[in-house]
């Protein structure tokens, strides 16, 4: 966000970087839009990784009911993500 205020633009004009290679290239070029998008991506990815890790935590303590519930939640998260990618 600081880059956005300094440059007064995202570095992309009217478009948004949605391709991972464009996003990484934008990070290297210090484009504000790329940095904002990677921050949003990390914010979305954090709870998803936590749910995925919880599956293994419940497996270790042999709590199969919560393992199944957490697995279902993880599948729903993945399904929603893929629907979002298809637009």
Residue range 50-79: mean pLDDT, rounded: 96
- At 19 the pLDDT is 77
- Report the pLDDT value the prediction gives residue 50, as an integer from 0 to 100: 96
Phi-psi label, residue 7: left if phi above 0, alpha if psi -120 to 50, beta otherwise: alpha
The token duo for 1 is 């966000």
Write the DSSP string, 1-37: -HHHHHHSS-SSTT----SHHHHHHHHHTT-HHHHHH
* Structural domain boundaries in the chain: 2-86
Of 53, 4, 13, the C-alpha closest to 22 is 13
Q: Is 17 helix (H, G, I), strand (E, B) or coil?
A: coil
**pLDDT class of 72 with cuts at 50, 70, 90:** very high
- Confidence bin at 87 (pLDDT 50/70/90): low
What would the mean pLDDT of 12-16 be, rounded to a whole number?
71
pLDDT: is 71 or 83 the higher one?
71
pLDDT digits (tens, 9 = 90+) for 16-51: 777 788 888 888 888 878 888 888 888 989 999 999
CA 34 vs CA 8, 19, 44, 77: distances in Å: 14, 10, 15, 24
């Amino acid at each position: 966000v600081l880059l956005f205020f300094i440059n007064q633009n995202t570095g992309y004009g009217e478009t948004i970087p949605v391709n991972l290679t464009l996003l990484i290239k934008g990070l290297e070029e210090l484009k504000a839009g790329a940095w904002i998008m990677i921050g949003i991506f990390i914010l979305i990815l954090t709870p998803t990784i936590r749910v995925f890790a919880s599956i293994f935590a419940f497996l270790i303590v042999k709590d199969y009911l919560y393992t199944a519930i957490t697995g279902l939640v993880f599948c729903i998260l993945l399904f929603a993500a893929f629907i979002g990618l298809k637009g």
